[in-house]
Amino acid sequence: MFGNLQKNQRKSLAASVALVAGVSAAAFAFNPLSAVAADHPNLVISAADIDAMQGAIEQPGRFRNAFLTTQSAVDRALEAPIAVPQPADAGGGYTHEQHKKNYQLMYNAGVLYQITQDAKYAERVRDILLAYADMYPTLPLHPKRRPGAENPGKLFWQSLNEAVWLVYTIQAYDLIRPALSDSEAQKIEQGALRPVAKFLSVDSPKTFNKVHNHGTWLTAGVGMAGYVLDEPEWVEQALLDLDKSGKGGFLRQLSTLFSPDGYYNEGPYYQRYALMPFVTFAKAIENNEPERGIFDYRDGIVMKAIDTTIQLSYNNLFFPINDAIKSKGIDTSELVLGVTIAYGESGNPQLLDIAARQDQILLTGDGLKVAQALDAGAQQPYEFKSFAFRDGKDGDEGALVVLRQQVNGDQALVFKPAAQGMGHGHFDKLSWQFYDRGAEIVTDYGAARFLNVEAKNGGRYLEENETWAKQTVAHNTVVVDETSHFDNNLQVANRNHPELLFFHADDQVKISAAEIDSAYPGITLKRTLALVNNPDNGSTFAIDVFDVESRNKHQLDLPVHYNGQLVDTNFKLQGYTDSLRALGKENGYQHLWLKASAKPATGLAQVTWLNDNGRFYTQSSLVDGNTELLFTELGANDPNFNLRAEKSFIARRDNVDKHTFISVLEPHGEYNPSKEFTLKAESQVSALSHQRTGDLELIAIGGKNGTTQLLAYNRNSDVDDSVNNRFEFDGSEYSFNGRAKLFQIKN
Amino acid sequence: MFGNLQKNQRKSLAASVALVAGVSAAAFAFNPLSAVAADHPNLVISAADIDAMQGAIEQPGRFRNAFLTTQSAVDRALEAPIAVPQPADAGGGYTHEQHKKNYQLMYNAGVLYQITQDAKYAERVRDILLAYADMYPTLPLHPKRRPGAENPGKLFWQSLNEAVWLVYTIQAYDLIRPALSDSEAQKIEQGALRPVAKFLSVDSPKTFNKVHNHGTWLTAGVGMAGYVLDEPEWVEQALLDLDKSGKGGFLRQLSTLFSPDGYYNEGPYYQRYALMPFVTFAKAIENNEPERGIFDYRDGIVMKAIDTTIQLSYNNLFFPINDAIKSKGIDTSELVLGVTIAYGESGNPQLLDIAARQDQILLTGDGLKVAQALDAGAQQPYEFKSFAFRDGKDGDEGALVVLRQQVNGDQALVFKPAAQGMGHGHFDKLSWQFYDRGAEIVTDYGAARFLNVEAKNGGRYLEENETWAKQTVAHNTVVVDETSHFDNNLQVANRNHPELLFFHADDQVKISAAEIDSAYPGITLKRTLALVNNPDNGSTFAIDVFDVESRNKHQLDLPVHYNGQLVDTNFKLQGYTDSLRALGKENGYQHLWLKASAKPATGLAQVTWLNDNGRFYTQSSLVDGNTELLFTELGANDPNFNLRAEKSFIARRDNVDKHTFISVLEPHGEYNPSKEFTLKAESQVSALSHQRTGDLELIAIGGKNGTTQLLAYNRNSDVDDSVNNRFEFDGSEYSFNGRAKLFQIKN
């Protein structure tokens, strides 16, 4: 591979990379490095790793167990004959799945060859590669490519899968290269590896140069092939665009696709997918050219991206914002690789906590480090934090805000003043979700999709992903006039974003505010969400203040999507009991059955539900006598039963140009039919009030126990701890410093 | 207590008890035994137990842990002042709950006194008892008693709770009696214990003599008081009716309330509740008068009842037939006591498996045995069996049939040709349920009730328990003309029951059939259900053949209530997409929204759904072109949101006097969005046929893999293994011996 710079040169180069990239990736150019005869392997796994791994499988422990499991699976797979079929099927079909199986088997067999030096593993990889070398040069574009698509593949219907094939296969080749004769290597390189690399780079310039997750897979595959095949030019192109301008390429992708906080624009579900080529290629770069300081690039963006992916999870599952399959979590293979490599780089024992939950040991050098550290019991609890993860490449396009506390249950409030997140983004500006005791309480539908279930639109996104899941009313945020944010126009949505006004977290109060004036013309939406707890009695509340200001009068809907069974309301419901109609005609409303409605009197409107874990939740809202509450169930206009029958109640205020929705959500009590007891099934909230005086906002939650909890906060976006705030409440004077404080007032 | 007979007398007496009781409990009479000065304690816990328990808390292990936990809870409770309030509230109210807390605390403190000999525990029990002795003689009937009810209490609104109070309190008194002065004992006995015992016996003759679970609590309390207070007459009355005729009393209850297989008429949910006084009093009898051989009574009915309660569970939860709260399972306190006492009696190591799942150690002599055996790792896997649990005191009133197999997942099929089960029974003759991989697949609604949730009808059974949960259409059985079995007439239902025709279980085939001709006038319902597996490929099917024969033409509905998301049908659905109506007007139909309907062409109609565990289920039915399929969701005419939104599809055949519903249910594949794979989302069934030739029935399930699975069974109710059955299928000859056989036929 390439010659190494001296150690002392490394830091300065890394610094210059970071500096230059920070200004303009286009202005950055590597010095071309001369090629030398390659050591194998040296991508994610290095030759030095192999020595340690060979030693480790002789010792009992997690690494040996993982080795034995993989060996047994591969040995079983070797019993089947080689199959390298002529490409014919789209995703899910036989040839598609077989080519996927091939690269996975080749990779695993390659690893086993290095560890065991048993020739049978190398021979199988060799034979499969020779078959590819025979076939690939003859292949036309894939018959199932999308008509007119710019990213067709040959082995697969799209080039994305072809790049994934290359990322695995080049590693497999690297692992077994020592077992090949030069003529075998020649045939495989000329017949398969070089043609695939060429097809994915110079023959697919648009996708290769695209600053997009697909581009990352292509550049990773081609760049890694460059290291293995001694083609430094490919590495340069992979890093800097085919024309080496820096306008595209891996570094540009690292500079653009993640925010400075390591947040990926599409949200955690796609972040964990996008991570794979980033960490794989980064590790290969580090092993081949440590002088590039790739893990230091952009202030350590690769490591931040891995860590942020973990942070954006709750009870091991990712927050399901945007198009997300809700059962995806931190044990996905991509994040296993990410955590393993991050631990190898950092040695951070908190990452071992995540690795322990993942319970998957990789057969790599870093995997060995993880296994040995877990065997030694070195893990420390991973700290999930309250944080505003800034969005946008420069961190100025809103944020995804997470408020957390461990009081009377592990609670998380997710607030989404984030940017749109491209085609997989939802029209849900300023939406929120709430989690408690391991469960999703105020919910997000996620994506409407049954992944790989043929009967459900071939396993692709369902039509209802557009007609329901992306629509604003499918989320917990304000809908104006039954139309979605940006009128469902993705281009407009991508050009606009909310502004994060403030974020603050202390022991008792976590609070954040944001606003957006572009979701609807002439309308400003501003929301403040807080998670507070009273240390005296362990009570907790999520507090929501949603201001809408408009030039004209509109209908405003604010849904709460919840999981569970409605238990009680403190107002009379008008049920639609023997016939149901859809609530509206379009923008998601056509999918909602209206099951009941109510118009509570002025004051406190309370809705209590019970979730499957036996916990009660009461939403107490301050209403003005003109707010309707609509109780809905999802499933109208869904002839194929594609939607889950989820529930919501919608606060509707019609004909207003200025309105503030104020509510508090209170977890309480326990329903335990197994042990035959029920505790605190009723809300403890007896009153709610809201005052604004100058920059200060006061939310007073009156309790049945005679104590009022008063949240006071300064809504000015520039507030630091030196600011002293004074106010009068109920005849008494109060003061606090900084952003916010929760007061307990005995009546 | 009473004098002991010689050991050799015991068996013969026990035998005569069993014999005589088998003929007529009324004809049986004990010899009156002379009273002697009582040893304390000697009810569930004996003085000998105490010695062992005192030793055990010095050793590390489960028993010591349980002791420390109880001690810490009781010590905390002792910090509160004594409260023995004037009775005022009904269930859930303050005085009701306080009197419950008092007896639980007295019992636990009594146990701790015996173990620790610390006087503070005895003193608290004494002081509470003295307060009761002051108050009880002054009490009128409870102010919240039901008007005109025959079972009012004084401390509680009904005498049932008063009896529970006595069962606990007499044990507490027994435990602390050695710490009392004679004058204290005198006051407590005269002021509280004797008046309560008198109130519950001679003053409540109807309830005391009632052959019913309430009667068991009263007889247990009074009988145990008889032992402690040296009143052998009370024991006699408790065992044999107030007039000692044997027409009522504990022995009669044991002879009548359980079937010979230990099945309790109301089903497992109430069986586990009913168990408590039976096992408690039985243990007290055994400790005081082992010569009665109470555990041998009626061929060991107490032990059978405990074991059957365990058998009637799946994945630790009871089968939710009749009025049942679905989260109730084997870890309930009643069954903890039952398993503990049963282990003490039998030493059966399989019971330790259940005790380990219960994870609760009782501070009794038997509890110590369980703890020590678990500490020693002596448990063996509990064997859940396929069995027809006969119903009715003589075992001839139908059965609750459980078919189980551990093939490709732990499967259970529950078939319910049981008797009505009194007031908590449902009108669901011949219904079934299916379980797979830990989950309920074909479901039973259970009871419509939110136990103790005040906002839901005060926590009592909801109105919807009558209007939905008990109705036939709420179950997986045939409904004729949209009316429920026995036209919802409980008296008629209690007088009639299905006949079990046969039950058979071998490795590949578990099968049972039953019929009833009284559920609808002039109509015979006959159902055969089988659970089969193919050992070659691990596939399993539940097979259902439901015959209806009638004098006149009727509309027949056969619902399948399922958990999950509809994935696919092999016929076109007509969805009611923008408005919904209730399916009917009454008998449960008014609660069903009709969401879609279909009339599949002649042949195979398939419905596939996906459950929350990611397993697919396909119901393949043989239809004749005139069968409608109605897809429903529960929730119509439910203004208070009391019902869960559960799903079903109903096969409807109108205007027939003879019809056979034939279907197979097939678990298959896996949906794993977390790991991004989906396997076998489609049914493997491509054809279904049914033939009758003589006594033989043939169900042929054609598979897409080219193999036909052919279930052949002899439907004659008298078939033994010597019967040879021969038949021709598809041109070939087959034969088998006995009830049934599953053939694999390669096409």
| Residue of A451, A455, A682 with shortest CB distance to B608 | A455
Residue A309, Cβ density class (10 Å: 0-12 exposed, 13-18 middle, ≥19 buried):
buried
CB contacts, 8 Å: A678 with chain B: 450-454, 459
Task: Kindly report the length of chain B.
Answer: 747
Cross-chain CB nearest to B455 (options A568, A645, A676): A568
What is the arithmetic mean of pLDDT over A151-157? 95
| Residue from B103, B107, B264, B270 carrying the catalytic annotation | B270
What backbone torsions phi and psi does residue B151 show, to the nearest 5 degrees? -125, 50
pLDDT in tens, A459-486: 889 999 999 999 999 999 999 999 999 9
Task: Give the angle B140-A678-B269 at the CA atoms, nearest 5°.
Answer: 85
- 3 state SS of B387: strand
Cβ contact B346:B364 at 8 Å = no
Out of B96, B142, B214, B424, pick the active-site residue: B424
Superfamily holding A1-80+208-384: Chondroitin AC/alginate lyase (1.50.10.100)
Nearest residue to B696 (alpha-carbon basis) of B664, B733, B665: B733
Distance CA A249, CA B79 (A): 71
pLDDT for B4 equals 42
To the query of whether residue A690 is one of the catalytic residues in this protein, the response is no
Residue A72 pLDDT class (50, 70, 90 cuts)? very high
How many C-beta atoms surround the C-beta of residue A343 within 10 A? 23
Residue B378 confidence class, pLDDT cut points 50, 70, 90: very high
Q: Residues near A430 by Cβ (< 8 Å), separated by ≥ 6?
A: A415, A416, A417, A477, A478, A498, A514, A515, A516, A525, A527, A546
Segment (H or E) for B7: helix B7-23
Give the pLDDT confidence score for residue B12 in this predicted structure: 36
Separation in Å, CA A437 to CA A409, A431, A537, B210, B486? 5, 21, 17, 46, 46
Q: What is the mean pLDDT of residues B592-621?
A: 97
Give one DSSP letter per residue of A638-660, joined into a string. Answer: -TT--S---EEEEEEEEEEEEEE
Query: In chain A, which residue's Cα lies nearest the Cα of B674?
Result: A328
DSSP class of residue A507 equals S
Encoded tokens for B25:
């409990």
Kindly provide the ipTM of the predicted complex, given to two decimals: 0.88
Residue A462 C-alpha, separation from nearest chain B C-alpha, in angstroms: 12
A578–B577 CB contact, under 8 Å = no
Instruction: Provide the pLDDT for residue A32.
Output: 35
pLDDT band at A715 (very low <50, low <70, confident <90, very high): very high
Query: pLDDT at residue B21 above 80?
Result: no
CB contact under 8 A, A580 and B575: no
Instruction: For residue B38, name the pLDDT band (cuts at 50, 70, 90).
Output: low
CB contact under 8 A, B577 and A636: yes
Residue found under tokens 């695993």: A108
Closest CA in chain B for residue A454? B681
B396-436 tens-digit pLDDT: 999 999 999 998 789 999 999 999 999 999 999 999 999 99
Residue B48: band (very low, low, confident or very high) from pLDDT cuts 50, 70, 90: very high
Burial class (CB in 10 A: 0-12, 13-18, 19+), B31: exposed
Give the whole-number percent of chain B exceeding pLDDT 90.
89
The Cα B209–Cα A607 span in angstroms is 47
pLDDT at B13 over 50: no
Q: Does A580 lie at the interface with B, CB-CB under 8 angstroms? A: yes
B633: nearest CA in chain A?
A645
User: Yes or no: is domain A387-746 CATH 3.20.20.80?
Assistant: no
Q: Give me the residues of A, 420-479, that contact B with CB < 8 A.
A: 450-456, 459
Confidence of residue A674 (pLDDT cuts 50, 70, 90): confident
Q: In this structure, are residues B576 and B594 in contact, taking their beta carbons and an 8 Å threshold?
A: yes
DSSP state of A469: I
Interface of A with B in 308-327 (CB under 8 A): 325-327
Closest residue by Cα to residue A21 from A255, A334, A292 = A255
| CA of A674 vs chain B CAs: smallest distance (Å) | 5
- Which of A565, A558, A486 lies closest to A527, judged by CA? A558
**Is the CB of A236 inside 8 Å of chain B's CB atoms?**
no
Active site (annotated) includes residue A270: yes
B residues 326-345 lying closer than 8 A (beta carbon) to A = 327-329, 331-333
pLDDT category, B148, cuts 50, 70, 90? confident
- The closest alpha carbon to A371, from A51, A56, A2, belongs to A56
Question: What does the pLDDT average to over A6-13?
Answer: 38
**SS3 of B89, please?**
coil
- The answer to whether the peptide bond before residue B349 is cis (omega within 30 degrees of 0) is no
Token pair of B453 as six digits: 């949730």
- Interchain pair A674, B329: CB under 8 A: yes
Cα of B453 to nearest chain A Cα, Å: 6
CB contacts < 8 A (A, B): 146
Helix (H) or strand (E) holding B592: strand B592-598
Has residue B10 got a pLDDT over 60?
no
* ∠ CA A600-A602-A603, rounded to 5°: 100
Please determine, for residue A7, whether its predicted confidence score (pLDDT) is greater than 50: no
First-residue to last-residue Cα distance in chain B: 75
- Domain extents in chain A: 1-80+208-384, 85-200, 387-746
Question: A590: which chain B residues are within 8 Å (Cβ-Cβ)?
Answer: 578
- Please tell me what DSSP assigns to residue A190: I
Which run of H or E residues covers position A314? strand A313-314
Res. A21: pLDDT tops 90 = no
Question: By CB neighbour count within 10 A (0-12 exposed, 13-18 middle, 19+ buried), where does A94 fall?
Answer: exposed
Residue A564, min C-alpha distance to chain B (Å) = 9
Q: pLDDT tens digits for B648-691?
A: 999 999 999 999 999 999 999 999 988 888 899 999 999 999 99
